Amino acid sequence: MAAIGKTKLDSGWLAARSTEVSLSGIQLTTTHPPSIGTSPWMEAVVPGTVLATLVKNKVVPDPFYGLENESIIDIADSGREYYTFWFFTTFRCKLSGTQHLDLNFRAINYSADVYLNGHKTVLPKGMFRRHSLDVTDVVHPDGENLLAVLVYPPDNPGSIPPEGGQGGDHEIGKDVATQYVEGWDWICPIRDRNTGIWDEVSISVTGPVKIIDPHLVSTFFDNYKRVYLHTTTELENKSTQSAECSLNIQVTTELKGNFCLVEHVQTQHLSIPAGSRVHYTFPELFFYKPNLWWPNGMGKQSLYKVSITVDVKGYGESDLWGQLFGFRKIQSHIDTVTGGRLFKVNGQPIFIRGGNWILSDGLLRLSKKRYKTDIKFHADMNFNMIRCWGGGLAERPDFYHYCDIYGLLVWQEFWITGDVDGRGIPVSNPDGPLDHDLFLLCARDTVKLLRNHPSLALWVGGNEQVPPDDINTALKNDLRLHPHFEKSVNESGKSTEDLSPVLRDPSQYLDGTRVYIQGSMWDGFANGKGDFTDGPYEIQNPEDFFKDDYYKYGFNPEVGSVGMPVSATIRATMPPEGWQIPLFKKVSEYYEEVPNPIWEYHKYIPYSKPGKVHDQILLYGSQPKDLDDFCLKAQLVNYIQYRALLEGWTSRMWTKYTGVLIWKTQNPWTGLRGQFYDHLLDQTAGFYGCRCAAEPIHVQLNLDTYLIEVVNTTLEELSDVAVEASVWDLEGTCPYYKVHEKVSVPPKRTVPIAEMKYPKSKNPKPVYFLLLKLYHKSDYRIISRNFYWLHLSGGDYKLLEPYRKKTVPLKFTSAVFIKGNTYEMHMRVQNTSKKPDAKTLTYQNNFTTKQGDGDFDTASVDCVQDGAGTKNEVSWLQKISRRFTKETDDLKVAEINGANIGVAFFLHFSVHGVKKNHKEGEDTRILPVHYSDNYFSLVPGEAMPIKISFEVPPGVTPRVTLAGWNYHGVHTVH
């Protein structure tokens, strides 16, 4: 007898082009099964796409490398048959006589014929729908089962005009599929249009009764003290007899040490007629003061495990289902002060700082491991929302799982985008997909797939467009709110808190808990009327983000800019001809950047806007001399650009703005714009500019007024704190030092503290550094640290070019903790060019505990330094070692000697692998790496704790290296 439950079929797949296979599906799954190594069959990527399989087998080159995509035939030129592929695998499943087996496809693009042991089933069209086939009668209970799937591309793959454009010729919009695949201004065309079995395939064993799509909803009363869990599930009796069932629900919470606390257990009895489906609603479960789920930066992401099982009389356990669930309430309304949409979580307003997201990988090589890195990166940047753009995916449960874990609210759009649905050249079809019923079927199925995730915050009809009237009306009706989740006071003035019991159980709705907005620029986003008031999408003068006239509306769903990666990524993703930096062509008093053809193909966006923004890279001196110089200066600009963007928005928190979403956080291919980490998973400096600017409590400089401001997005008042402002010049002296001690900041407020007056002082230096620290007066523990490099009004940073010749001494004290192939390094970096100034104690950079900081809680790294003693360093490491399982904790000390006194500027670590048989020019980076901070600077005497964690491939020895503005070459520090 097979165990009840699901088994993934994610390995052992073969694939072949249909025109190269002479056998029928019946033959493939009966008498002539294919085998690996037999032409034309190759190892397949499932889940994945046809193109991902061809790339894996080197049948075609990597379309993301250089201009190789141009050498791959496009479906418009080859015809749909060229990308129509067979996928084949086998599985075993020993069923008893009363068990049932379902074959499940969580998503296929675009339609398919399924053959199992010679029996054919047609899977209907639609990229965003699940398929579940009862194969009990055709499965071999005691032997091998042969499964072949013939996958057809989208019906309307379209063609790519010579000039490219948004969504090619827009034909893909006629199908219910991803729309980016014909190319956009940030990605090249995907040649197979993502044809394939692109999501999970599984078999599931049940008894007579199957559990289908339970819906979990929590309602709150008495200021969140009294909470009810509502649950409705569909049950299918697959047998020919009436089933007497015991339906069980259990809610547990995880405690320390792998123990679970059972919060609730409930059993209900019901009878299900033979061959029928029924919906059953459990009696509500009561919780008193449960741990709530909060977004990143507002509190913990408390999650409970909800388990449902069904036992059938005379059979036993028939099916089981489980889901992590967070108790939380999300509301939003149009704010009367700003006109922007204001979100509340558990009754508390949350200032939205997040980013736009397309998908993890353009070839749909999706994995839990990559999703975990993607979402953790967003949490590391202190973001609290991700917008899933309408031209991309309805994201997968694995994506949402990690958003639940790390506290990222999700704005999920359906598959409408204006460029493909009513705009463009030629003008696209304004009526959306050809099959409106199919669109709605996929939308409803997507809601059922994702609705139990606490991170899911709202549904949106489309990007810069409203769905066709009939679809929009249906979605509004399907996704109408249950009365409990409407705004806190209804039209009669009666508080919805008094609605008990409420009208119909909320778990009986399709969703009922999340607002539906018809489009990304409607109803509190952009100008709220659908006019094109999102953007801009290019480089800005950093001070402009702080000005009254920069953006008129309360919530900008898309504002974009540059995103050049580091030089190692360019070398890893382009041939040498792609390593040529842009030509700088003078246009009047401005410079225009002219990129090489490979950069242009990879959608490079320049660091200048002639007529508006002087080239921000040329601010650092003469034209960059080579790729390394260009990319390093680009990182300086990335950091300033994105920190200023977020600080400008946060400066007007609640007075002008309710939120902002940056276009975009990453690229699903090797693109050269709008990203905080590249497709290889190496972060740009913009990542750390965002991480700094979006911290929950933050000290910042208003670049327009030069007022020092403190931002408090938390729920607690900030009191008994002080702000230290110190200016450091290029000679390593501190000409300006000021402490502002009478500081208190109410919750959810931005408060100006005082003007930073150094630029108005006598003989200010043309280029200088500013270090701001917000700290507790009682123990000098740092709450927020922010480092700026600045020039006087109308100036530039050209004096930083000769500063590169200055090398200041650094000392590194580190320990490594190893568990399996995971390394965690704790490092203390100190600028030893001179002893700290006696008038400040904040140089130790003892950071206060940061709520929800997860893996990177810098409070776990106590920096105790009273000069230069190894004893204190050992004590510091002993405190760390008590927190981690370790196999080695050797204390290591490394030093970089230097004769100069000054700021160690723009230091950045990287991790490399040392292995035998190293090839010249090979990219040695180990990626991804999580850093508690990077691209940081240290003033004389200052020390900084840094935590670094990464996984090491087998057979590789890691080494951590350091580079910086005034550190040339690569310095190995561990």
Q: Which residue has the higher pLDDT, 863 or 393?
A: 393
Instruction: Determine which one of 558, 695, 709, 724 is catalytic.
Output: 558
Residues 6+ apart with CB under 8 A from 767: 730, 789, 790, 791, 795, 797, 798, 799, 800
pLDDT of 485 > 80? The answer is: yes
Which pLDDT band, with edges at 50, 70 and 90, does 969 fall under? low
Question: Nearest to residue 930, comparing CAs of 903, 951, 961, 914?
Answer: 951
Residues 385, 409 contacting (CB under 8 angstroms): yes
582 secondary structure, DSSP code: P
Query: Does CATH place domain 810-848+883-973 in 2.60.40.10?
Result: yes
Residues shown for the chain = 974
CA distances in angstroms from 422 to 187, 647, 724, listed in the order given: 21, 36, 54
pLDDT digits (tens, 9 = 90+) for 835-892: 877 667 777 788 887 654 444 333 332 222 223 333 444 443 444 444 444 445 568 8
962 secondary structure, DSSP code: E
pLDDT digits (tens, 9 = 90+) for 226-257: 999 999 999 999 999 999 999 999 999 987 76
The per-residue pLDDT of the chain, averaged, comes to 92
pLDDT digits (tens, 9 = 90+) for 51-105: 999 999 999 999 999 999 999 999 999 999 999 999 999 999 999 888 999 999 9
Count of C-beta atoms within a 10 Å radius of residue 225: 11
Which pLDDT band, with edges at 50, 70 and 90, does 970 fall under? low
> Given this model, what pLDDT does residue 499 score?
45
Q: Which residues pair with 622 in a beta bridge?
A: none
> Which residue carries 């799509």 as its tokens?
213
Outline which parts of the chain fall under CATH 2.60.40.10.
209-314, 695-798, 810-848+883-973
Outline which parts of the chain fall under CATH 2.60.120.260.
5-202
Instruction: Determine which one of 171, 236, 395, 464 is catalytic.
Output: 464
Which pLDDT band, with edges at 50, 70 and 90, does 427 fall under? confident
pLDDT of 489 > 50? The answer is: no
Question: Nearest to residue 634, comparing CAs of 662, 607, 666?
Answer: 607
- Rounded Cα–Cα distance for residues 195 and 107 (Å): 11
Q: Is 20 in the active site?
A: no
Question: Nearest to residue 948, comparing CAs of 904, 913, 909?
Answer: 909
Q: Is 558 in the active site?
A: yes
Q: What is the mean pLDDT of residues 185-210?
A: 98
Which pLDDT band, with edges at 50, 70 and 90, does 123 fall under? very high
Torsion, CA 646, CA 648, CA 653, CA 659, rounded to 10:
-40
**Domain 695-798 adopts which CATH fold?**
Immunoglobulin-like (2.60.40)
Q: Which residue has the higher pLDDT, 531 or 881?
A: 531
User: What is the value of pTM for the model shown?
Assistant: 0.95
pLDDT digits (tens, 9 = 90+) for 183-197: 999 999 999 999 999
The domain at 5-202 falls in which architecture?
Sandwich (2.60)
pLDDT digits (tens, 9 = 90+) for 764-806: 999 999 999 999 999 999 999 999 999 999 999 999 999 999 9
- Rounded Cα–Cα distance for residues 500 and 497 (Å): 8
- Rounded Cα–Cα distance for residues 37 and 34 (Å): 9
259 secondary structure, DSSP code: -
The domain at 363-530 falls in which architecture?
Alpha-Beta Barrel (3.20)
- Rounded Cα–Cα distance for residues 437 and 284 (Å): 34
Cis ω before 110 (30° cut-off from 0): yes
- Rounded Cα–Cα distance for residues 929 and 937 (Å): 20
**Domain 209-314 adopts which CATH fold?**
Immunoglobulin-like (2.60.40)
